[in-house]
Chain A
C-alpha cells in the first residue's frame, strides 16, 4: 500500500497538475456518462460487486473511500495495482474520466 502511494505521489509530482481540481473533475458528456456508469456497475462490478460492496476486490462504497486520496484512487483506476487483481483501465478511460469515476464512487453510484 505504502509503496504504490509513494510512487503515485512522485508520478503526479512529475506529471504536474492533474485534471481533478478543487472544483471537481469536468463531467463527461451525457451519453458518455451513461456508458461510464454502466461500465463501473457491470465491469468493475465483476470484482467489486454490482452494488460496490466488494467481492474479490475491495468495497468501493462511499464509506470505504472516504479517507482515501482522490488522486491516488484515480491513479489506481488508470494504472492498476501490482500484486493484486486490479488491472489498469487507461485503455478505456481518459484521465478526466477516471477522475469523474472516482468522484462518482465517492458520492455513491446512482441507481
Chain B
C-alpha cells in the first residue's frame, strides 16, 4: 500500500477542520436586505421577519410602550431604531436578533428619523415637546431642540419629522402651527429655521422621495402646508385649501398617516382627513387633480413600487378593509378583508409582496399584489407597524 501524499492528508484535514468550524463556531452568514421588524404594540416587542421565505425568525422584547411606534434603519441595514410612545429609543440588532442598546429620552414620543449620513438619530417628542438628537452608534445625546412657541413658555407637540438632504430634519409643531427646519451639520449646534403661521394643527408630515418638498397635513382646517426645500426663502404655501369645500368633516377616529404616501406619474395620492376620500394631487403645481371615493376614512395610502397602484387602509370602524386603487384610471380595483383592525401595509422594495398587519386577528398577512392571493400568514401579538430594512436607503424613511 502506498502512503498517501502529505498534501492529500493536509487537504482532508483542512476540509474536516473547516466543516467543524462552520458547523460549530460560526453562524451562517447572511445579509439584512430581506429582513424587517413588525411592532407588537401591546407587548412592547418586535418580531424579526424575513421576506424570502416569509417567516418569523425571532422576537425581541423589552422595548417599552409601543402604542405608537415607528422604526428607521442604520445605513448598513444592520440596526433598527425603534421609537416608542414612552420616549424609549431602542437600537435592535437584526443579525444577532437582540436589543443592542436603549435609552428613555423623553416622557412621550411620536417618532423619529435618521440623518442623511446615518450618524444622527432625531426623536420627535410630545412631552417635553421638541426634538432630541442622538449619536446613532452610541445613543449618546448630542442636542436638544425645545419646540417653544408663543411667548416662549409653551412647548408644542412635534409631529411629522422627516430627514432631508444636507443633514437636516424637518418637523411640524401641532399647537403652534409651525414648520421647523433644523440643520445638524454641526450635531451639537442645530441651526433652526422657523416657518410660522403654516396652518392650524399640523398632525403629520412627509417629505417627497427626492427630498425636495415637505408637506404637513392640517387637522384644524382644510388643506396642507407645502415647503419647497430647494427654495425655502419662498416660505410655506397652502395647497388644496378648502378641499372639504366647507362641508362638515366626519369625526376622525384615527389620525391619517402621511409617511409612506404614494407618488406616481406626476401625481401624489394622499388621505383626506375627515372624509372617505383619497386626494389626487398633481405634483407640478400642487393642485387637486381628482378625489377618489373609498370605503372609509383613509389612514395610510401606500404606493406600490412602480407607482401603478396604491393600497389604502381605513380608520375605525372601517378598519377590517383594504382597498387597492389603480392610479391611471383612478378607480378602486380590489377590496380585501385581511382581518380585523388592519393597521399598516408595507411593500417589499421591488413590490412583489405586500405585508399587512391585522391587530385584532394577531396576524401579519402577506399578499401577492399582482394576483391579490394570500401567500403567507404569520402569527404576531397585536401587530401594528411593519418596517422592512430597505427603508435604510430611502429619504424620508
A interface list, Cβ under 8 A from B: 38, 41-43, 45-47, 49-51, 53-56, 80, 83, 85, 87-88, 92
Contacts and interface: CB of A to CB of B under 8 A. Distances in A.
B341 A56 contact: no
Interface residues of B, number: 30
A87 B108 CA distance: 22
A47 B316 CA distance: 12
Nearest to B201: A85
B67 A45 contact: yes
A85 B85 contact: no
Interface in B91-135: 108, 110, 126-127
Interface stretch (B9-17, B252-260, B372-380): B252-260
B260 to A, nearest CB: 17
Contact of B86 (A41, A43, A53): A53
B255 A85 contact: yes
Contacts of A38: 360
Of residues A41, A43, A46, which shows the largest number of chain B Cβ atoms within 10 Å of its Cβ? Answer: A46
B68 A49 contact: yes
Contacts of A50: 41-42, 65-67, 85
B252 A55 contact: no
Q: Is the interface of B mostly helix, strand, loop or mixed?
A: loop
B341 A42 contact: yes
Contacts of A51: 65, 67, 85-86
Contact of A42 (B110, B159, B359): B359
B108 A54 contact: yes
A53 B65 contact: yes
27 contacts: A41-B42, A42-B359, A43-B254, A43-B316, A46-B68, A46-B254, A49-B65, A49-B68, A49-B85, A50-B66, A50-B85, A51-B65, A51-B67, A51-B85, A51-B86, A53-B85, A53-B86, A53-B108, A54-B126, A55-B68, A55-B85, A56-B126, A56-B159, A56-B255, A83-B220, A87-B252, A92-B317
Contacts of B159: 56
A50 B41 CA distance: 8
B367 interface: no
B53 interface: no
A87 B220 CA distance: 13
B157 A56 contact: yes
Interface in B236-271: 251-255
B174 interface: yes
